[in-house]
């Protein structure tokens, strides 16, 4: 059993449900439409990649421990960088962190690159194993 991927996936999924509910019920009245959309994008990508972590755990016997570990690291890093930065950016006006955009904004695409690298690694691994 791949406890790290299952634990990460379940933990990030739980956090996504909490953050999604918080956005829908707590932030809806204090964020503008664009900020709320940004928050929801962070939640959505967190959900997708939390599910991805659970898939990695499921297919670990076929992928191997090394590939599974790398994909897990890439997905976790992507969630922290991409979704985390969107949470900070979307709430910067109400949290008093207006200056956070200067250094957090460039982190968002890095998180996206982590996501892409994780999926690319999975794709390449599967294509090579099929031969």
pLDDT tens per residue across span 39-61: 999 999 999 999 999 999 999 99
Give the pLDDT of residue 102.
73
pLDDT tens per residue across span 84-109: 999 999 998 888 877 776 788 889 99
Nearest Cα residue to 76 out of 46, 40, 55, 104:
46
Decide if pLDDT at 131 tops 80.
no
Long-range contacts of 68-71 (CB under 8 A, 24+ apart): 68/2, 68/5, 69/4, 70/118, 70/121, 71/118, 71/121, 71/122
Question: What is the number of structural domains in the chain?
Answer: 1
Confidence (pTM) = 0.94
Interval 20-40 mean pLDDT: 95
State the residue range of the domain holding 56. 3-130
């Amino acid at each position: 059993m791949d406890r790290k991927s299952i634990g990460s996936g379940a933990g990030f999924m739980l956090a996504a449900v909490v953050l999604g509910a918080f956005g829908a019920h707590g932030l809806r009245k204090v964020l503008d439409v664009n900020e709320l959309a940004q928050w929801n994008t962070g939640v959505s990508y967190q959900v997708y990649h939390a599910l991805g972590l659970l898939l990695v755990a499921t297919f670990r016997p076929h992928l191997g421990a090394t590939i599974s570990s790398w994909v897990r690291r890439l997905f976790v890093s992507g969630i922290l960088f991409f979704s985390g930065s969107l949470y900070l950016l979307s709430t910067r006006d109400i949290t008093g962190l207006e200056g956070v955009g200067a250094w957090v904004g460039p982190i968002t695409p890095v998180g996206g690159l982590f996501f892409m690298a994780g999926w690319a690694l999975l794709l390449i691994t599967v294509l090579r194993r099929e031969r």
